Amino acid sequence: MKMNAYIAGVGMTRFGKHMDISLKGLAGKAIREALADANIDSSALEVAYMGNAAGGVVQGQEMISGQVALRELGIGKIPVINVENACATSSTAFHQACAMVSLGAYDVALVCGFEKLFHEDKLRSFAAFDGAVDTESPEGVMGALKILAAKAGEVVDVANAGKTRSVFMDIYALLTIAHMKAHGTTREQLAGVTAKNAFHGSMNPRAQFQQAMSVEEVLAAREIVYPLTLPMCSPIGDGAAALVVVSERKARQLGLSHKVRVLASALVSGYDETADDLSVGAFAANKAYESAGVGPGDLSLVELHDASAPSEIIAYEYLGICGRGQGGALIEDGSTRLGGRLPVNVSGGLLRKGHPIGASGAAQIVELTEQLQGRSHQRQVANARIGLAHNGGGMIGTDAAATVVSILRREH
């Protein structure tokens, strides 16, 4: 969808393990920061889109998590829309807010993604991901695993999938093996994704992990499920990110400097693919490019959904950054590293910044906004003008259930 909305302010907590901060407390920290960054009072808010994916499973907070978080800040009366859409939760909240502002329904909208996944009972944390598949399918997630295993020529590890690790790690592992067999992608290239993002994350004070890693260290780490080692898998985490989205009229009224405009945001759902169909990611990316009037060659930087290291390589291909099977080469030649042709996940990505699922999409927009405004310090991408955010979540069949691709541009 073509958009005409602006980002007036952003806020974000550090991602990580926050056992001493409540779910609503995390949301409050990010929201207060975003309001201060926009230089507006909470009384200026006309609507709030609040994204939380796993509060019902992990904290037992169902149905009104947004109202609970906002009431803690003294915010009431305005419409509050609670959004849940797997890992694309706050990307979806952002899409909805931008759409309503672009259509003229509101001049000032709040977007917040907030999540707490750490729990004393680790099985409860894993259970947060179990519902992001078709649970009423006779075979459930195991059916999808069997389909992917057949494509990869592998056997499903029934004993450990979803028990000693998130079932999505098994999904990513099977997708990776198929890609390795089809295109010659190597484990060294997979490790290179993590090493690159670790370098980026080492310069991000809000990243969950801030230690640089070498390819050798990534490969030597504990194996989760072949071919993935622990640093190749995004961690669970706690955190929140918030944005103040305003209309063009409000942006002028506020006298915004370093304006960041939302050009497009495509929200799509998975579908039953035929041999001639595009993947969900490619379908969403094409819609966003068309609406924004730009292409992959116009991008200055990308924040994409690297829930695993191979996910980033595969995303390069369906976002049009490279041809099919050529994603691994971009890691080897440094194209997607800070200073390269097209820096990707300069925040550290989900792999190092962390992945509190309901907050991840909004955090991508925070990173792009700050980059386009030239305030990312050591991580600053030179002459950043256009940024793309890609976020996908859940799985039905063998592809994402929901995907959002948004494109932002720095305005003069």
What confidence score (pLDDT) does residue 249 get?
Answer: 97
In-domain check, residue 379 = yes
Six-digit token pair at 15?
A: 């991602």
Is residue 213 included in any domain, yes or no?
no
**Alpha carbon distance 92, 392 (integer Å):** 10
Element (H, E) at 263: strand 260-269
Question: 162 pLDDT exceeds 70?
Answer: no
- For residue 99, being part of any structural domain is answered with yes
The answer, yes or no, to whether residue 14 has pLDDT greater than 80, is yes
- pLDDT interval class at 153 (50, 70, 90): confident
- Could you tell me if residue 190 is inside a domain? no
Please check whether residue 126 lies inside any domain of the structure. Answer: no
CATH code of 6's domain: 3.40.47.10
| % the chain with pLDDT above 70 | 97
pLDDT digits (tens, 9 = 90+) for 25-67: 999 999 999 999 999 999 999 999 999 999 999 999 999 999 9
Kindly state the average pLDDT of the residues 210-230. Answer: 97
Please pick, among 18, 87, 98, 390, the residue that the annotation labels catalytic: 87
pLDDT digits (tens, 9 = 90+) for 306-335: 999 999 999 999 999 999 999 999 999 999
What's the confidence (pLDDT) of residue 155? 79
**pLDDT for residue 158 is more than 70:** no
Structure-model confidence comparison of residues 175 and 160, the more confident one: 175
Q: Nearest 5°: CA angle at 376, between 367 and 305?
A: 25
- 193, part of any domain: no
Report yes or no on 30 lying in a domain: yes
Span 276-309, pLDDT tens digits: 789 999 999 999 999 999 999 999 999 999 999 9
Catalytic residue at 355? yes
Q: Please choose, from the candidates 282, 267, 350, the residue with its C-alpha nearest in 3D space to the C-alpha of residue 94.
A: 267
Q: How far apart are CA 231 and CA 223, in angstroms?
A: 9
What domain count does the chain have?
A: 1
Range of weakest confidence among 140-149, 154-163, 191-200, 396-405: 154-163
Task: Give domain status of residue 85, yes or no.
Answer: yes
| 403, 409 Cβ separation under 8 angstroms | no
Is 80 exceeded by the pLDDT of residue 147? no
Active-site position among 18, 95, 200, 355: 355
Percentage of residues in the chain having pLDDT higher than 90 = 83
pLDDT for 377 beyond 70 = yes
Range of the domain at 388: 2-120+235-410
